[in-house]
Structure 1
């Protein structure tokens, strides 16, 4: 297992175009070929992007990059937004000092959100364009799960929601990601897409019969079906020393 860090200096006026190409082309191609994105960060000035990727071996890294480089049109377009780039392989000691360890696990959240007609909020992400899915994303450091799902849904769809409870927990062993799914209701806002993130956002009348027409990936269908027929799980967020309860959802069953 090796970890490679890419650092790009970007012309600030082209940061949106650079990110669009990353989500549209680079990310899905790397993932398809077995690479794993550990993290990606943009600085406040919007002129530097840092990525850390994980590969099975040096040979795996070289084969993935060789195939990516064959698409000269996309690579030239990407490079036109970059003023300078640097890459290095991370070992146990990072050049700045200290030790680097990839995250042991990533926590994410998704939301099964319905409107007054009982329709479900769906999105199509740029890097998973072959399926629709319920909105969501990664939990940021210092966030509760509840804060994260409110933020992610607002960012991806423009919608604010009222949460009811948690309907399931799903662990992706291949990617090291655990997803917690909430069920909730539309509260306010006008649905819209998010630049460089979602290409479609809409409410749809989902049923067990038509679910496959919208959601093509099995693990997304499973969590959507569980939320459709929800058995709610208890949830608490709290601080210790001294104990301070931030939020709690009681365990209960809702029959639709």
Structure 2
């Protein structure tokens, strides 16, 4: 398995807009192309910002790359993304005023091989 974390530091006054965009635009396109969302969370970061991050699961790194290629080549999706940025003053403006940090990171397990398939059942 390959896991990745997509991480954002977002202006508090943009959190609702950003989460709506994720739920209505980004999530459906990722799922349509085979990505599996483990979960998405947020927590206060500072007085003016919120940390938002999602964890995604893929069969392997190659499958992740394939899904990302398909997501990025979807013309209808790309138009939605461009239109969304334009509603908020363009991509540069969004990154200057609302999205202060964005990271896309591989997550590496700390579990030993024999413990990687451990599941708790209640």
TM-score by length of 1: 0.34
Q: Partners of 1:49 and 1:43 in 2: how far apart? A: 7
User: Which stretch shifts more, 10-19 or 85-94?
Assistant: 85-94
- 1:114-133 CA-to-partner distances (Å, cap 9, x unmatched) read xxxxxxxxxxxxxxxxxxxx
Give the alignment partner of residue 64 of structure 2, picking from 55, 58, 61.
Answer: 61
C-alpha change, 1:54 and 1:86, in structure 2 (3 Å) is: same
What RMSD, in angstroms, separates the aligned Cα atoms of the two structures? Answer: 3.2
Structure 2 counterpart of 1:117: none
Q: Partners of 1:82 and 1:19 in 2: how far apart? A: 12
- 1:148-167 CA-to-partner distances (Å, cap 9, x unmatched) read xxxxxxxxxxxxxxxxxxxx
Q: Partners of 1:103 and 1:32 in 2: how far apart? A: 29
Matches within 5 A, 1:70-219: 70=73, 71=78, 73-74=80-81, 77=85, 80=94, 81-93=98-110, 104=119
Greater strand proportion? 1
Tell which has more relative contact order, 1 or 2 (C-alpha 8 A, sep 6+). Answer: 2
C-alpha change, 1:39 and 1:72, in structure 2 (3 Å) is: same
Q: For residue 34 of structure 1, give the secondary structure of its aligned residue in structure 2.
A: coil
Q: Partners of 2:8 and 2:69 in 1: how far apart? A: 19
Which consecutive segments of 4 or more residues in structure 1 shift more than 2 A?
Answer: 66-70, 75-81, 101-105
TM-score by length of 2: 0.66
- 1:194-216 CA-to-partner distances (Å, cap 9, x unmatched) read xxxxxxxxxxxxxxxxxxxxxxx
Q: Partners of 1:103 and 1:20 in 2: how far apart? A: 34
Count of aligned residue pairs for this structure pair: 101
CA contact under 8 A between 1:38 and 1:102: conserved in structure 2?
A: no
Whose Rg is larger?
Answer: 1
Q: Partners of 2:79 and 2:57 in 1: how far apart? A: 23
Greater helix proportion? 2
Q: Partners of 1:103 and 1:38 in 2: how far apart? A: 16
Measure how far apart 1:8 and its partner are.
Answer: 0.5
